[in-house]
């Protein structure tokens, strides 16, 4: 009862606060100064009316915000009462009412998911396995398989031989070179050879190649393709632009490449994929299975899984299973998965357990051809004389393989990398296998029905057999990292290889998302403004849509499992980098001209000039392998306009920095004239040399969600802008730094022996005075944790070993990690200012900065960390950043899968060091009962927790040799590479009891918001320095932030089905409701809201945007997955479950 009264008082207090806000707003409106200069009286009246309208809109916004807050408090009160009376909220679990009452509504309690006796939890499997590697005989990594021969008497063996060609869109050659040399010939031959015999089949996966070939062929051949698809002879599997990597790819990009492929298939072929095919990604993630299921697929095949796991699954007959999401208590997300049991997807490792026998049935290796069998027994052409002996030899392999599965339906792939290039290979494979199949048909006593098939054929037969025999497949939760293909060869190196391009990947991703959203909003606003659905004259909507398409396809291509992984040859990496670089430049044009039209107060003044865009970006990228550089702004008494786009769905406080030519500058909000808090900092040309021409101006901006805000920057009187103060220190060798504009001092007296310290209103940090590296953190709550930053080197194995680290493999030397040391101590630079303070440590191979922002609310609660890494001078070394904390985390930590979900990891002593590294796309954390330490990252990297309380990330790798996985080179094309992080220490309160087993955990609300800010920074554009410029105003598409736990994944304009390469009026609206942890609620609460309810009102969420139509659809917006259009016009209620993505086909009004 006591807590209920407190909540009631709180609701009353909020109501009073709302009233006071209204009075204050009215007061501000009366006192506001007109901002125009020298306007005509008529212009003044128009502008006053316009400004009054904006003020009324803002008044509505404040009312709406307060109404929503009161509603959320009512939710909380209702939930509290239901808990007291024994009722449960929407996310009820068997936890104490006391702890539930403390938690934020809608949060997710840590829980252990159980799936009954037949459920498989991969973490438990890893605990169970010995990870030894005994010789299994013919199947070296497995075991001897036996059978009696009568097992198929009642249910004959039903075999599907699935021809395929694995075509990498870039690896040893570039995408275009592979297309010219191999892929186009494969597809040309496919048309001819499948057309010759209706029994022949083939599957194809990579739409990037298929679409390029489609553009090259005539209408007659296109009609043949459609006939083959309709007849079921050709099946497009997965349907992604590429066969995506599943370790480093972010889920935005994974889904985007899937959507690009599926949309292309729908437009040109009218088909939808039903089965996934992922035979080459180096480990597998449940995030991908979730996206495939949401895109309408119901089955999938995987291959690269740790050999010990494959063996265990084969022994248990669990190679086929229902793959379920770790966080899902229902079967909604289940997808049927087939795991290939043997070493590879090539022919020697797919017909059965003995590769020496299976190789004899790869007829591309017949004597006289270019490829041969390493086991030195070549294939024989099938003749009447040998068909019996050959058929029985092959049948034995099929039967042995069949014993590993629960049903008598057998999948046998037939293919390899870039197979079926030559017409003669088609003939050799199809004619010889057909003779074997005919022999089987003529001998029913063998109890086998064998034929060529597709994945749809196989899974259709499998589900029919399972249904008639009432057999169920086990459920499985977890992921298949980290992969090893043999011995202790763990593929954990590629989690970090080519980190420069992994960072560029995420820059392109955030630029693409921002451009998609702003372009969609611009078209909607133009149609509203013109009233007739028309667009602004001169606005290049079609050209911009083509730029968006190219950007989508460049990002999609880089998700390929030899691209973002960093495992392609040097010239191929340059090709990927060049594509991404040009895509970013093109997408910036979309942002610039969209922002230009939206911010013009007088739309009639819009004029598009591609050679001279109205806005320039404040950052320039000069080449595919260059880091972004700030463009210096020339200031004068005339204001320079900065236009800032907030690509996130949250109101955010952000520190924006631009480089100016004056040590004094004044920034005001262009709409209100309100001065913004600012700081001038030095631009360091070298670690101890200050630039005399350039200065960094940083100011605090309050950016509404998805808004364009306008600021004016002018030159200010000397000494009027607060300046940063500096301490520069080097142990034993103090540097001399001169600056006429900044106060630069040294550590003196007792300061020399005391730790360096910085603080803001949320936290305090202490760093070593010798190295500048972080040592300790204290929160305002009083929670203190040791958090030491260290840098270390890993070497690789020495001469005694044949295999060493390379692009794929991490094979560290026996000595393990060695603490970083340099010949002279680092130069340490301490910055103190009113907007931010930081400590920078300049080592030879890395410049490390830890920064505190002096911001209110949640934005100031995390530490920003950044590294500038340069190991180009090194050989066979890997640089690591390690956090050593006093968090008692045991052998467990959590890393994310694709930025979509968290996965518990257990560091196992029975595994070698390299096996305990995992992929980290955006976050990892350690926790104990009292605290959680979260590292959020802006790029993909390998992560490990080798000892309790430790977390380490690999920053860069330079390796001189190939690791014998086909690449044929080391990794030596290192660049000067930036990496960015947020470090967050949080109290764990209410729901923080430890859950046993494979518990499902989530990021905190604060971590989600910090990650959003890190991955989607504000985009700053600069107007020309011209006093005659047209007037600019801000653009506010949303009246309030979306709920804290609701992420706008994308707002993507779809292609016009009637006019190719042009935008339609339909937009893909993709929303992701994040699961967030119950054990820490941020204090003070963020300005966004959240709710226990799963139903949301889309009209309210996106007000004042209006929807003309809303249709829920599949994740890739295929028309056949659209649900019937909602008849109710308003309100539009949609169910958004925690962790789930929801996709809608909408028309914006």
Tokens of 376: 């030195």
For 990-1039, the DSSP string reads TT-PPPPSSEE----HHHHHHHHHHHS--EEEE--S-TTPPPB--B--BS
Residue 546 zone, left/alpha/beta (φ > 0; ψ -120 to 50; rest): alpha
Alpha-helix residue ranges (DSSP H) falling in 495-643: 499-530, 541-558, 570-599
- At 883, list the tokens: 């956090």
Tokens coding 900:
């979509």
Cis before 1131 (ω within 30):
yes
962's CB contacts (< 8 A; 6+ apart) are 806, 807, 968, 969, 970
- 1115, 1087 Cβ separation under 8 angstroms: no
Residue among 1082, 1078, 1090, 1079 at smallest CA distance from 1042: 1090
CB atoms within 10 A of CB 20: 10
Question: Token pair 């504000």 is at which residue?
Answer: 1018
The full DSSP string for 72-93 is HHHHHHHHHHHHHTT---TT--
Contact present, 161 and 433 (Cβ < 8 Å): yes
CB 1073 within 8 A of CB 1139: yes
469's tokens: 């025999």
Q: Distance between CA 793 and CA 871 in Å, rounded? A: 11
**Under 8 Å between Cβ of 779 and 459:** no
Q: Which residue, 787, 945, 944, is CA-closest to 863? A: 787
Q: What is the DSSP string of 532-564?
A: SSPPPTT--HHHHHHHHHHHHHHHHHHTBTTTT
Report whether 865 contacts 982 (CB < 8 A).
Answer: yes
- In the block, tokens 């004389």 appear at 385
From the CB of residue 554, how many other CB atoms can be counted at a distance below 10 Å? 21
Which candidate in 256, 280, 416, 505 is catalytic? 280
CA pair distance 938, 981, nearest whole angstrom: 6
Give yes or no for a contact between 341 and 314, defined as CB atoms under 8 angstroms apart.
yes
Tell me, rounded to whole angstroms, the distance of Cα 1076 from its chain centroid: 18
Please, are residues 532 and 991 in contact by the beta-carbon 8 Å criterion?
no
Active site residue 280: yes
Strand locations in 286-431, DSSP E?
299-302, 320-324, 335-339, 409-417
Tokens 């169910």 identify what position?
1135
Q: Which two tokens stand for residue 1094?
A: 């799963």
Phi, psi of 234 (to 5 degrees): -115, 130
Handedness of CA 371, 374, 380, 382 (dihedral sign): negative
Catalytic positions: 280
């Amino acid at each position: 009862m006591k807590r209920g009264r407190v909540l009631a008082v709180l609701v009353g207090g909020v109501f009073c606060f709302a009233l006071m806000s209204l009075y204050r707003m009215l007061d501000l409106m009366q006192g506001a100064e007109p901002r125009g200069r020298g306007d005509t009286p008529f212009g003044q009246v128009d502008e006053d009316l316009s400004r009054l309208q904006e003020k009324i809109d803002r008044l509505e916004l404040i009312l709406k915000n307060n109404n929503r807050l009161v509603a959320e408090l009512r939710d909380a009160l209702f939930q509290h009462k239901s808990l007291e009376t024994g009722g449960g909220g929407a996310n009820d679990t068997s936890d104490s009412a006391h702890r539930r009452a403390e938690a934020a509504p809608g949060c997710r309690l840590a829980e252990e998911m159980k799936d009954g006796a037949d459920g498989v939890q991969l973490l438990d499997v890893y605990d169970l396995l010995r990870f030894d590697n005994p010789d299994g005989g013919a199947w070296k990594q497995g075991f001897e398989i036996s059978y009696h021969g009568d097992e198929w008497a009642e249910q004959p063996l039903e075999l599907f031989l699935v021809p395929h060609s694995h075509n990498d869109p870039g690896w040893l050659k570039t995408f275009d070179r592979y297309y010219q040399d191999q892929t186009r010939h494969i597809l040309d031959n496919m048309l001819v050879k499948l057309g010759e015999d209706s029994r022949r089949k083939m599957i194809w996966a990579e739409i990037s190649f298929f679409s390029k070939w489609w553009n090259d062929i005539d209408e007659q051949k296109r009609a043949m393709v459609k006939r083959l698809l309709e007849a079921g002879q050709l099946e497009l599997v997965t349907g992604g632009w590429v066969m995506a990597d599943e370790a480093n790819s972010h889920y935005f990009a994974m889904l985007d490449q899937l959507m690009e492929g599926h949309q292309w298939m729908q437009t040109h072929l009218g088909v939808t994929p039903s089965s996934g095919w992922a035979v080459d990604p180096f480990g597998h993630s449940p995030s991908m299975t979730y996206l495939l299921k949401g895109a309408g697929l119901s089955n999938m095949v995987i291959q690269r899984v740790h050999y010990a796991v494959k063996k265990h699954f084969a022994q248990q007959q669990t190679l086929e299973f229902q793959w379920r999401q770790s966080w899902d208590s229902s079967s909604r997300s289940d997808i049927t998965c087939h795991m290939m049991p043997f070493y590879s997807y090539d022919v020697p490792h797919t017909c059965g357990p003995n590769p020496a026998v299976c190789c004899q049935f790869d007829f591309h290796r017949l004597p006289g051809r270019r490829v041969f069998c390493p086991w030195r027994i070549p294939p024989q052409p099938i003749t009447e004389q040998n068909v019996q002996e050959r058929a029985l030899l092959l049948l034995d392999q099929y039967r042995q393989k069949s014993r590993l599965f629960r049903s008598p339906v057998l999948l046998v792939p037939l293919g390899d990398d870039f197979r079926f290039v030559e017409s003669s290979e088609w003939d050799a494979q199809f004619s010889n296998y057909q003779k074997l199949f005919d022999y089987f048909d003529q001998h029913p006593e063998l109890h086998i029905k064998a034929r060529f098939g597709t994945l749809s054929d196989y899974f259709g037969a499998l589900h029919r057999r399972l249904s008639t025999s009432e057999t169920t497949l086990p459920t499985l939760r977890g992921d298949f990292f980290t992969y090893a293909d043999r011995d202790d060869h763990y593929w954990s190196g590629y989690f970090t290889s080519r980190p420069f391009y992994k960072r560029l990947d995420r820059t392109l991703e955030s630029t693409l998302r921002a451009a998609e959203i702003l372009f969609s909003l611009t078209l909607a606003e133009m149609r509203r403004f013109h009233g007739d659905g028309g667009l602004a004259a001169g606005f290049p909507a079609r050209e911009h849509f083509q730029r968006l398409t190219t950007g989508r396809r460049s990002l999609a291509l880089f998700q390929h499992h030899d691209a973002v992984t960093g495992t392609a040859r040097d010239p191929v990496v340059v090709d990927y980098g060049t594509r991404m670089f040009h895509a970013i430049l093109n997408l910036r044009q979309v942002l610039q001209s969209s922002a230009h039209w939206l911010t013009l107060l007088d739309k009639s003044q819009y004029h598009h000039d591609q050679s001279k865009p109205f806005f320039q970006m404040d950052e320039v990228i000069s080449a595919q392998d260059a880091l972004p550089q700030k463009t210096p702004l020339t200031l004068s008494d005339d204001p320079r306009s900065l236009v800032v786009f907030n690509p996130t769905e949250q109101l955010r406080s952000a520190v924006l920095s631009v480089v100016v030519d004056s040590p004094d500058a004044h920034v005001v909000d262009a709409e209100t004239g309100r001065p913004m808090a600012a700081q001038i900092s030095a631009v360091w040309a070298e670690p101890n040399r200050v630039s005399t021409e350039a200065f960094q101006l940083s100011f605090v901006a309050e950016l509404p969600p998805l808004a364009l805000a306008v600021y004016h920057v002018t030159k200010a009187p000397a000494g009027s802008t607060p300046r940063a103060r500096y301490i520069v220190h080097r142990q034993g060798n103090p540097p001399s730094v001169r600056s006429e504009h900044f106060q630069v001092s040294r550590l003196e007296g007792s300061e020399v022996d005391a730790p360096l310290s910085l603080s803001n209103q949320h936290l305090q940090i202490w760093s070593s005075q010798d190295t500048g590296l972080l040592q300790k953190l204290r929160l305002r709550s009083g929670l203190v944790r040791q958090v030491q930053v260290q840098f270390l080197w890993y070497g690789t194995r020495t001469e005694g070993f044949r295999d060493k680290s390379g692009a794929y493999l991490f094979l560290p030397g026996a000595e393990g990690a060695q603490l970083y040391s340099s010949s002279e101590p680092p130069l340490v630079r301490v910055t103190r200012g009113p907007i931010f303070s930081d400590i920078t440590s300049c080592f030879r191979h890395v410049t490390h900065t830890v920064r505190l922002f002096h911001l209110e609310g949640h934005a100031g609660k995390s530490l920003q960390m950044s590294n500038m890494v340069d190991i180009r001078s090194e050989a066979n070394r890997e640089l690591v950043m390690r956090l050593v904390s006093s968090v008692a985390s045991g052998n467990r930590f959590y890393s994310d899968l694709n930025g979509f979900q968290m996965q518990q990891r257990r560091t196992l002593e029975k595994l070698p060091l390299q096996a305990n590294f995992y992929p980290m796309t955006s976050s990892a954390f350690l926790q104990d009962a009292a605290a959680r330490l979260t590292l959020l990252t802006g790029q993909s990297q390998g992560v490990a927790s080798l000892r309790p309380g430790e977390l380490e990330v690999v920053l860069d790798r330079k390796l001189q040799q190939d690791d014998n996985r086909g690449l044929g080179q080391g990794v030596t094309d290192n660049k000067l590479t930036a990496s960015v992080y947020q470090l967050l220490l949080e109290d764990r309160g209410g729901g923080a009891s430890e859950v046993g087993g494979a518990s499902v955990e989530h990021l905190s609300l604060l971590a989600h918001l910090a990650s959003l800010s890190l991955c989607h920074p504000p985009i700053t554009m600069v107007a020309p320095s011209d006093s005659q410029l047209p007037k600019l105003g801000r653009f506010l598409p949303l009246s309030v932030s979306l709920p804290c736990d609701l992420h706008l994944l994308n707002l993507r304009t779809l292609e016009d089905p009637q006019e190719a390469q042009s935008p339609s009026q339909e937009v893909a609206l993709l929303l992701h409701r994040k699961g967030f942890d119950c054990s820490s609620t941020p204090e003070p609460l963020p300005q966004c809201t959240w709710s226990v309810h799963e139903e949301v009102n889309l009209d309210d969420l996106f007000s004042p945007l209006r929807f003309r139509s809303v249709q829920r659809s599949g994740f890739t917006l295929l028309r056949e997955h659209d649900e019937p259009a909602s008849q109710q016009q308003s309100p539009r209620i949609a169910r958004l479950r925690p962790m789930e993505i929801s996709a809608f086909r909408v028309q914006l009004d």
